Structure 1
């Protein structure tokens, strides 16, 4: 079930919202309504996988209770005083545990058991991810290796990838780690934890919500008001416009180029295809985040932002502070810090950075192209820390932005390509202005118009940084009537396009 499908827009969404408003006088009842609606929403697309998620939720709850019980009297555990603990406080708590663990005379007897329970919970969740997402990829590569050694191959299992499995697994791991670190207490009821896992606005493609960031809201179960509806629905409409008018049109352009034989393409066609995808993935994924944040706000919940104008970045480090913020934050808190962060010397810091983004590439997909993309980003993050950021800071912002975007666009070529061979061939064409197409691709003019409009929006975002105290949200409020009227018309146009054209799933449904 997609957010912009008629089934959701005209039946499921309104029905759930009205139930929440008019039959949710009691906080517990609001939780039940949202949980039931979220389960139905996910079961509509994944009727079998949802049973496994229920089983893993039960395991999480049991493991968290065991960890919490063993934490009583443990001096390495900082008690949960508030769910508002910052990322920095969480890191310090984790570092305190690591420091005490390293001193043989100070390790409490229960700490080893807590680690074992945490390991059980994390491994069980990762096993779900590995089985569904990577079994086929591993088998395919093993089969190729065996055949290269003239040995009999193996059967390649066909395992369907459940929607949103990566997001679900990462969020469930945050809960277990948060309880282990003492950042949060175990969920007060199975219902609240189940709602955290299944909450339908963010369920399929994020943002990745850390348990300690939203636990207090789920316990309070806010009652939505008129302002929540207006702000939330406006944000939802913006997401639909981004997805249907921009991302889906740009997707058709990218598909047109990437489906062609690379040997018949030229410099212009290669750049056109990669630029189509560069804008497609931004408008597609940020559009989903807008819909998720808007829907949650309509029910009274505040989700953290996931994008902050990433294409105005002046370095790769700056780009990753602005792009998929929830994933970058997750990697920093649950992988980079446990690896040692920057506390073990420069060489180890560079290695940790690269490992984190190599892992990010693996998380994105079971293909060598994603692995190459993650390793590529990791290299440039290390180069940023070594010298590149300092060099870019000396250049004009616009030039630093252009250089950063070229690096990002090259990375997107790996991300979108169907193989490393195709990625290499496209990059070779993009580096050769004299390469001409042997069979020019006829690109419909509407694709070019939408791409130019998308580029103009990103340039406008860049220019807004030069206006003192400029804020897109406050500007929209200042001209609320005009902006809401324009957004409403674009929303209706987007729906009309969505009904006329075949539905295209969100890019990140595959992850």
Structure 2
């Protein structure tokens, strides 16, 4: 069930909202309504996988209770500050008996994390591992292996990562265990953010789930406005760019000219931003309509003047997760210069693996890791010497090369496309001009990104500007929203890119 499908827009969402408003007399009842709605929402798309998630939720709750029973940690603001700085979070005296208790708590944590990772590995990576193992066996003329295709549940990576954060934070003493199965299940299944994030840490939203706030008129107005913006981004911009990218990436790279190869990458660069940020807008807007505040996931990433800044602005919840649950535990930047570079690189290699079970994603992650290391070595200093617009262009060039790897169907295709993109003299083997609507929408999308860059340089507050012209902005957004829905109903639905992750 997609957020912009008629079933969701005209039946599911209104029904749930009315139930929440008029039958949610107390916070407990409101929580039950949201949980049941979220289970129906996810079960509509993944009826079998939902039982796996429920079983793992039960295991998480049990593991968290065992860890808490063994732990002498306290949950306080100092702990969170230490965590943010990457400091050691274990407060137990690890000598003697306390050391044994600590070791047992770590074993329970390892069990919980391993169980969640097992779900991810089974559904997402079994086919990839089997395929590569089969190729290896056949290379040595040995009998190959074959396993039935395993359907990838929507949003499995997001679900698993959030569940791991809960267990780790309980172990660290950052958060107390959920006050009952209802609250934790609601945290896992909360439908606005369930399918593609943002990745929310339990302690960041636990207070909201405990109170299940009343939805006020202001929440509805602001939330629905944000939701409309997301629908417009997705249906009017991202899906048009998707058609352009699909058209070019479906062709043999040898038949592409220099301009066409770059056009395909530009189309996808715009598609993935407007698609994913559009979903985040819808998720944040829906949550706001019910009175919840989710953390932002994007902050104009295409205005970045370095790869380091890009990753502070792009998919911020994932970047935060990698920093707190992988980079810091590996030692962060407190283990010497060479190890710091390795930690950075391995974290983004892991990010590539998280994104998908394909060599293209793995190389994309490694590629980003290399440029983050280069930023630390010398590149960031060099970029800072350039005018902001020049540093932005250089950064976007690096980003777009990476997106070519990300979008390509194989490493061979990625290499061939990059080869054509490096040949200004390359001519198309088959004349196939992109439809004019693709070019026009690409120009509009690029203009939006350029306006963001100009706004950052001139310190323009776009939010304040929109408030001053609220009537015109809301009117234009409403018209675009209706146009987007009409287009969505007329054209085949294109799922969000990050649903595959």
TM-score (normalizing by structure 2): 0.98
Aligned to 1:496: 486
Note the 1:382-393 alignment, pairs <5 A.
382-393=373-384
Tell me the equivalent position of 1:424: 415
Q: In 2 relative to 1, CA 99–457 (structure 1 residues): closer, same or farther, beyond 3 Å? A: farther
Alpha-carbon deviation of 1:471?
1.8
In the alignment, which of 351, 368, 390 is matched to residue 377 of structure 1? 368
Q: Does 1:16 align with 2:12?
A: no
Say whether 1:445 aligns with 2:417: no
Could you give the per-residue CA deviations for residues 345-382 of structure 1, whole angstroms, max 9, x where no partner exists? 01110000001000000000000000000000000000
Structure 1 position 5 matched with structure 2 position 5: yes
Give the distance between the partners of 2:30 and 2:355, measured in 1 at CA: 34
Aligned to 1:120: 111
How far does residue 255 in structure 1 lie from its aligned partner after superposition? 0.3
- Partner residue in 2 for 1:80: 75
With 88-97 and 353-362 compared, the bigger mean Cα shift is at 88-97
Structure 1 residues 107 and 317, CA gap change in structure 2 (3 angstroms) = farther
Matched position secondary structure for 1:187 = coil
User: 1:174-185 residue pairs with structure 2 within 5 A?
Assistant: 174-185=165-176
- The 1:401/1:18 distance shift into structure 2, 3 A limit, reads same
Match runs of 1:21-420 below 5 Å: 21-71=21-71, 74=72, 77=73, 79-81=74-76, 88-91=81-84, 95-97=88-90, 108-420=99-411
Alpha-carbon separation, structure 2, partners of 1:432 and 1:453: 27
C-alpha distance in 2 between matches for 1:4 and 1:307: 20
What is the rounded CA distance, in whole Å, between the counterparts of 1:247 and 1:464 in structure 2? 22
Deviations 1:201-245 (A, max 9, x none): 000000000111111111111101010000000000000000000
- How many pairs does the alignment contain? 501
Q: Judge conservation of contact 2:277–2:297 (CA < 8 Å) in 1.
A: yes
Pair 1:459 & 2:450 matched: yes
Query: What is the Cα deviation at residue 152 of structure 1?
Result: 0.8
Deviations 1:7-49 (A, max 9, x none): 0000000000011011112110000000000000000000000
Q: Would the aligned equivalents of 1:135 and 1:157 in 2 still touch at CA under 8 Å?
A: no
Q: Distance in 2 between matches of 1:81 and 1:351?
A: 32
Q: 191-200 vs 433-442, which deviates more?
A: 433-442
Q: Deviations over 1:246-270 (max 9, x none)?
A: 0000000000000001111110110
SS of residue in 1 equivalent to 2:266: helix
Gaps of 5+ in 1: none
